[in-house]
Amino acid sequence: MLLLHRAMSHADVTAGIDAALKVGSLDAAVIAVEARRATETGTGSAAVVIPIGEGLHRFDRPKPSLTHYDQLLETQ
């Protein structure tokens, strides 16, 4: 249940919790179903998608080479 906020908005998750509590359930699966219903019926709000853009390319690194490790294995 704690991971629902990654895919749904706060309003949808809160609506799911409220709906589950109204029927007397504390089950995470019931909360998830009710949160999805809130998303479909529009009682909550749409989740906001934040684009990450092209800025992550600066973290690209070359793949490591294992040739030196192969030489160590051959000497034993």
Q: Is residue 75 part of a domain?
A: no
Residues 6+ apart with CB under 8 A from 19: 34, 37, 38
Distance CA 44, CA 11 (A): 5
Q: Is residue 63 part of a domain?
A: no
Q: Is residue 54 part of a domain?
A: no
Q: Output the pTM of the full model.
A: 0.53
Per-residue pLDDT tens, the chain, 76 aa: give them: 668 888 888 888 998 899 888 888 889 998 999 898 888 877 655 555 567 777 777 888 888 888 788 777 776 5
Q: 4: domain range?
A: 1-47
Q: Is residue 72 part of a domain?
A: no
Q: How many domains does the chain have?
A: 1
